[in-house]
Structure 1
Amino acid sequence: MTHSTQPPAAAAPAGRPDPLDHPDVLRAADSAATETLLRAYVRETATDVPAAGHDLQLDFPASGLRLGVPVRYRSATGWHRFGDPVVLGTGRDVPPPADVTLVASAAVRESTTGRGHPAHLGTDAAGRVLNSAGRVAAHLAARRAEGDGTTGPTPHLDAEQALLLGHPFHPAPKSREEATERELAAYSPELRGSFALHWFAAHPDIVVGESWDGRPVADLLRPAAAGLDLPAGTVPVPAHPWQARDVLDRPEVRQLIEDGLLTPLGPAGAPWYPTSSVRTVHRPGADVMLKLSLGMRITNSRRNNLRGEMRLGVSAARLLAAGPADWLRAEHPDFAILRDFAWISAGASGAETGLETAVRDNPFHGGDREGLCVAGLLAERTGPGDGSAPRHRSLLAEAVARAAHTHATSVAEAAARWLERYLDVLAVPLVRLQARYGIALEPHHQNTLVALGEDGLPAAGWYRDSQGYYLAESRAADIERLLPGATDDVELVFADAFVDERVGYYLYISNLLGLVGALGAQGLADERDLLRVLRTRLERLRAAEPGAKGLLDLLLDTPVLRCKGNYLTCVDGLDELVGDVHTQSVYIDLPNPLAEALR
């Protein structure tokens, strides 16, 4: 693939309507899907993007296609905004438009044949891009039909339900296969779905699981199973309703049912709401959240819970209780980790049956201190359907506007304050936790939450998800002394350099640079100013926290960092939840904007 720039024959001036706001919901969804695909593509192919008002030219030799892509906004962190592409070289006075079907086919074909693979191996990836575009259209249609001012049941759920377009650097962020439209209406957070859990009654001999403090997991689930007609002497095991149907085709589950050890009871209880991850469900009045297995393929992966991951969650809860949690409360009272502190399943053979459920802390019950998913805060909104823009492009834009009004300052200054406060309540505790204990996490936007104060600025932060725990090898002996057996039978200890590399991606590239990019792309601040804020705060942290020097040297001074390539991972058909942690995803080299521009 080659690229070049030229003067803006079809430039998108600032006053031109945003394609996301097109009155035709299918056009708006097509534009959103095309833009997200191109944003991921140019990042992972190291394609230079010209300044706003110019066209990016993309050549796809494997398809004999050349596209002209108007650049609406050029981002220092990669969160570019593009207009609708057109096909060049046709000889027509008006170049024909290139929809997501054409762009996906050309890009995926280029990335398969160009890397030595047969073209047909990209068919699945292209199909997922189109599936995602269709889901985005459904989400936009439903939201436009709601009318202005409609919100979710609680602020926490409203943020979980805000990701209408999906991950900004994923080619198929909303693909959901193998479910009907009716099922997706109930299971999709973007459609404000809700559903009752499906329950199984299991003989105690086949129930497996554990909790961090030894409490029977069944006791933790009984409030959720209130009203369930449970046969005497059995244990309630919950399941996602889609999964409950799917596992009946699994031989091991069929055998348990035939042997009388497992009985499907059907749906029961109050409705639960899917969160942004789809498989994790929340109910405002419940003591816990539940992370359910869901074998439906969502983006790149089937979301079946693995028992090793759930054991890791329980081990992490025990490790945190041995000292790190108290240290965090003392040093950073406005930050906490939501634990996946228990799990349960049916089937004692050792292999997953698809009925694995993790039990997570739930401190959010509709009060004043609600944790808001950061991905939901940043998620772009589209207009009401008449071609006009929304009043605020995101919940983040709304919060920054509130901060600007409260503090009588400019929107750009309020955005800088928002970033500074975010670093203090979320990033600094995570870096210091790693420096103090060697414990590192995967805090991408969907795994992090913040509470906003009345002034719109971050007031508290949380991390969630047991899959993303790492322990630096150099600290393993210290942790073993703190909690003997902490690293037994779980995949937790990794080389220090690998841990820093993953934190460099999840915390720095995905989270912090992603926040800077969102603030810039939504017109709230100049990214260069925000990068100065970020660098200043990280330099101050490096001086104050010697144990974090290696990580912060990497983030601040290394010209190129390793970055997960969601596009190439999709093209290669990898399931990111299967296999060795080192090879589950494709990683690429990405220029570091702090080291590149602000030295």
Structure 2
Amino acid sequence: MTTPASPCSSAETDPAASCFFNALLRETDAWRLATTRHGEHIQLPVDAGELHLSLLHRSASNECRFAWPILWHHQGQTRPIDFDQALPRILATPALVGELDAESRATFQARVLESRANTRASLAERDDIAHLQRGPLTFAEAEQGLLVGHAFHPAPKSRAPFSEAEARDFCPEHRARFGLAWWAVAPELAAGDSSRASGAAELARELLPAALAARLPSDFVALPMHPWQAQRLRRRPWVAEQERQGRLQWLGLGEPQWLPTSSHRSLYAPGAPWMVKGSLSARLTNSLRLLSVKEVQRGLNLDAWMRDLEVERRFPGFAVMQEPAWLGWRGDDGEVDPESLVLLRENRLAKAPDSEAVVLATLTQQPLTPGGQTLLAARLRAIAEAWDESPAGVTRRWFAAFCEHVLTPLLGLAVEDGIVLLAHQQNIVVRLDDGWPVGMLYRDCQGSGVSDRFLAQRPALTTPPENHWSPATVRRYFHYYLLINSTFAVTSALAADGLIDEGLLLDDLRAHLAALRERLEGDPDCLDHALNAPRLDAKGNFFCYLSGVNEATLSEPARLYLPLDNPLAATDVASLTRDTGVPA
């Protein structure tokens, strides 16, 4: 819902603070929602006072647009304060964040403030902000235009242990370009596998510059790697010893034609047949970004399983960027070194690098300038003006096309084939034609699993794969990523930018899912859950990050999730945003 003007203003923007507060408010109930003649505001009791956050908009999934500054109420006095002043008060309030020791509090505070400083620095230095908010964007522009990060995370742009100089050399928000690092790996150390007729080493050679290929010893494997990771590994004593013995040989860097995508560790070069995703020994959001053999094997399995599914015929415009090969080296114990792992991902844009293929997170990221709007809203307003139609009508039709080209194939694979793709905003690349959805590319095969439906269709598969998920697991993760993280971000952005009432889009979404329930044949459990469950599970990024755990290695990541009211199950969408005096 949109609130009237307040004493605070939309003439200021602080996207990092928005991400922090959205994450906090989702995961704690120690706050109140109040309505005055100026509109809605959040009352957040803190140590020795109260913080007030004025709202410009609050969505059905509780994503908020805030009007700054923060107001500090203390001993009958009210004054504006900066986020840097509010943060210590929040962290000193056990009712909000629990009991924290001094070290945990200091570490978390430093990371949050670092993320905010990084966001502000990238916004200040970019000379293409107007273009990023207006579009159209190429794939590369969209990947390096995600300047805000996860809308429900306390520190989405924290990037330890990158130094400032390294961040400028290697991070997407700084529009980095660099050459791939290349190793020559002796046969006794080389590891890899492929699901294609050609082996992993042969496929990787397609990327090796001729000048470096001339230096590759016979029978050695050429291993590409992110240059930051290569620098880090060369400082390890074991690697230095292998170089001394000649079992690892440093070939050098290729031409600076590779750019980091929004995930930092996936690299893209326009025109290259493969993208390269590698381990990165850095903590980004909740995880240390290291690949594992289990994860890269998922890519090979998915590539093999999907060959006979006729996906392009069933779901025109949809494709998976398959990951059919991986490489690395083995340590003295014979085990694959996870820090050396890389995989090859299909570059589905190799022949059309300038087409409008935009990662969803960039389309929906919060406005980058005071009084601005999302890229998605800007594209739709331009379309409405060009077509001489109402913004609301164009928005509703655009969302219908989004549902057909994004939700239909992902739900179709889950229902009919038992293949579950965890499509969060950074895994969904929307193919646009003059801003209109015409297809989708899914990436990141590590985020794939299979359900009981998959096993039932493959009786010859005697041993279930390691990523066989129970119905409860599918309900938790699939719906969080596809609905809460991705689809509700779209409905929230469109409503917050004043294009349409969110309730209309949620009605249309429910109708689309109900139609799929009739249209698709197979296991409808995921559709039934989306339509009827009173609550869905949402990931708790705030307390995960505060605790310092590595999400990627948790034995039971389900403990990070918390219940969220399901907007699709509400009989009256307006009831989700009414003023009850408690969190909606």
Q: Give the alignment's TM-score, normalised by structure 1.
A: 0.87
Matches within 5 A, 1:115-514: 115=98, 118=101, 120-143=103-126, 145-146=127-128, 148-149=130-131, 155-226=138-209, 227-228=211-212, 229-233=214-218, 234-321=220-307, 323-324=308-309, 326=310, 328-347=311-330, 349-365=334-350, 366-367=352-353, 369-383=355-369, 389-390=371-372, 393-454=373-434, 456-481=435-460, 484=461, 487-488=464-465, 491-514=466-489
Change in 2 beyond 3 A, CA 1:344/1:18: same
* CA contact 1:111–1:571 (8 Å) conserved in 2: no
Change in 2 beyond 3 A, CA 1:268/1:434: same
Which sections of structure 2, spanning at least 5 residues, go unmatched?
Answer: 574-584
Please tell me the residue identity of whatever aligns with 1:472. Answer: S
2-side partners of 1:485 and 1:230: how far apart? 45
Using the TM superposition, give the Cα deviation of residue 588 of structure 1 relative to its aligned residue in structure 2, in angstroms.
0.8
Please tell me the residue identity of whatever aligns with 1:423. Answer: C
Using the TM superposition, give the Cα deviation of residue 125 of structure 1 relative to its aligned residue in structure 2, in angstroms.
2.3
Change in 2 beyond 3 A, CA 1:537/1:152: closer
* CA contact 1:306–1:356 (8 Å) conserved in 2: yes
Change in 2 beyond 3 A, CA 1:130/1:147: closer
Please tell me the residue identity of whatever aligns with 1:169. Answer: F
Change in 2 beyond 3 A, CA 1:584/1:178: farther
Identity fraction in percent: 31
Please tell me the residue identity of whatever aligns with 2:116. Answer: A
Please tell me the residue identity of whatever aligns with 1:378. Answer: T
Using the TM superposition, give the Cα deviation of residue 153 of structure 1 relative to its aligned residue in structure 2, in angstroms.
12
Using the TM superposition, give the Cα deviation of residue 262 of structure 1 relative to its aligned residue in structure 2, in angstroms.
0.5
Please tell me the residue identity of whatever aligns with 1:375. Answer: A
* CA contact 1:156–1:372 (8 Å) conserved in 2: yes
Using the TM superposition, give the Cα deviation of residue 114 of structure 1 relative to its aligned residue in structure 2, in angstroms.
5.3
Superimposed CA distance per residue, residues 155-192 of structure 1 (whole angstroms, 9 cap, x where no aligned partner)? 11111122111111111111111222222112121121
* CA contact 2:223–2:328 (8 Å) conserved in 1: yes
What residue in structure 1 maps to residue 520 of structure 2? 545
2:12 to 15, 19, 28: 19
Q: Which shifted more, 68-77 or 151-160?
A: 151-160
Change in 2 beyond 3 A, CA 1:457/1:486: farther
Please tell me the residue identity of whatever aligns with 1:11. Answer: S
What residue in structure 1 maps to residue 564 of structure 2? 590
2-side partners of 1:362 and 1:266: how far apart? 24
Using the TM superposition, give the Cα deviation of residue 429 of structure 1 relative to its aligned residue in structure 2, in angstroms.
0.9
2-side partners of 1:236 and 1:112: how far apart? 54
* CA contact 1:281–1:290 (8 Å) conserved in 2: yes
Using the TM superposition, give the Cα deviation of residue 431 of structure 1 relative to its aligned residue in structure 2, in angstroms.
0.7
Change in 2 beyond 3 A, CA 1:89/1:157: same
Change in 2 beyond 3 A, CA 1:253/1:308: farther
1:562 and 2:545 equivalent? no
Which sections of structure 1, spanning at least 5 residues, go unmatched?
Answer: 1-6, 21-30
1-side partners of 2:203 and 2:118: how far apart? 35
Please tell me the residue identity of whatever aligns with 2:224. Answer: P
Using the TM superposition, give the Cα deviation of residue 112 of structure 1 relative to its aligned residue in structure 2, in angstroms.
8.5
* CA contact 1:562–1:587 (8 Å) conserved in 2: yes
2-side partners of 1:546 and 1:153: how far apart? 37
Matches within 5 A, 1:54-93: 54-60=40-46, 63-83=47-67, 84-92=69-77
3-state secondary structure, aligned to 1:467: helix
What residue in structure 2 maps to residue 23 of structure 1? none
2-side partners of 1:308 and 1:78: how far apart? 35
Using the TM superposition, give the Cα deviation of residue 260 of structure 1 relative to its aligned residue in structure 2, in angstroms.
2.0
Change in 2 beyond 3 A, CA 1:486/1:197: farther
1-side partners of 2:522 and 2:199: how far apart? 39
3-state secondary structure, aligned to 1:563: strand
Superimposed CA distance per residue, residues 320-356 of structure 1 (whole angstroms, 9 cap, x where no aligned partner)? 12x22x2x12211211111111111122522424121
What residue in structure 2 maps to residue 25 of structure 1? none
Using the TM superposition, give the Cα deviation of residue 277 of structure 1 relative to its aligned residue in structure 2, in angstroms.
0.5
* CA contact 2:453–2:522 (8 Å) conserved in 1: no
Superimposed CA distance per residue, residues 99-145 of structure 1 (whole angstroms, 9 cap, x where no aligned partner)? 233333333444698545545433322222111101101111112x4
3-state secondary structure, aligned to 1:175: coil
Change in 2 beyond 3 A, CA 1:398/1:500: same
3-state secondary structure, aligned to 1:376: helix
Using the TM superposition, give the Cα deviation of residue 398 of structure 1 relative to its aligned residue in structure 2, in angstroms.
2.5
* CA contact 2:33–2:40 (8 Å) conserved in 1: no
Using the TM superposition, give the Cα deviation of residue 368 of structure 1 relative to its aligned residue in structure 2, in angstroms.
6.3
Please tell me the residue identity of whatever aligns with 2:227. Answer: P
Please tell me the residue identity of whatever aligns with 1:72. Answer: L
Using the TM superposition, give the Cα deviation of residue 528 of structure 1 relative to its aligned residue in structure 2, in angstroms.
1.1
Using the TM superposition, give the Cα deviation of residue 487 of structure 1 relative to its aligned residue in structure 2, in angstroms.
4.4
Aligned length: 560
Please tell me the residue identity of whatever aligns with 1:467. Answer: Q
Change in 2 beyond 3 A, CA 1:309/1:509: same
Relative contact order, higher structure (CA 8 A, sep 6+): 2
Superimposed CA distance per residue, residues 525-567 of structure 1 (whole angstroms, 9 cap, x where no aligned partner)? 2111111111111111112225353212211111111111111
Using the TM superposition, give the Cα deviation of residue 268 of structure 1 relative to its aligned residue in structure 2, in angstroms.
2.0
Using the TM superposition, give the Cα deviation of residue 597 of structure 1 relative to its aligned residue in structure 2, in angstroms.
4.3
* CA contact 1:211–1:217 (8 Å) conserved in 2: yes
Please tell me the residue identity of whatever aligns with 1:531. Answer: L
3-state secondary structure, aligned to 2:224: strand
Using the TM superposition, give the Cα deviation of residue 458 of structure 1 relative to its aligned residue in structure 2, in angstroms.
0.3
Please tell me the residue identity of whatever aligns with 1:466. Answer: C
* CA contact 2:364–2:493 (8 Å) conserved in 1: yes
* CA contact 1:238–1:355 (8 Å) conserved in 2: no
After superposition, the CA RMSD in angstroms is 2.6
3-state secondary structure, aligned to 1:532: helix
* CA contact 2:432–2:439 (8 Å) conserved in 1: yes
Superimposed CA distance per residue, residues 368-393 of structure 1 (whole angstroms, 9 cap, x where no aligned partner)? 6442111111123423xxxx644xx2
Please tell me the residue identity of whatever aligns with 1:337. Answer: V
Using the TM superposition, give the Cα deviation of residue 238 of structure 1 relative to its aligned residue in structure 2, in angstroms.
1.4
2-side partners of 1:264 and 1:75: how far apart? 52
Please tell me the residue identity of whatever aligns with 1:166. Answer: G
2-side partners of 1:407 and 1:43: how far apart? 39
2-side partners of 1:220 and 1:524: how far apart? 47
2-side partners of 1:597 and 1:161: how far apart? 40
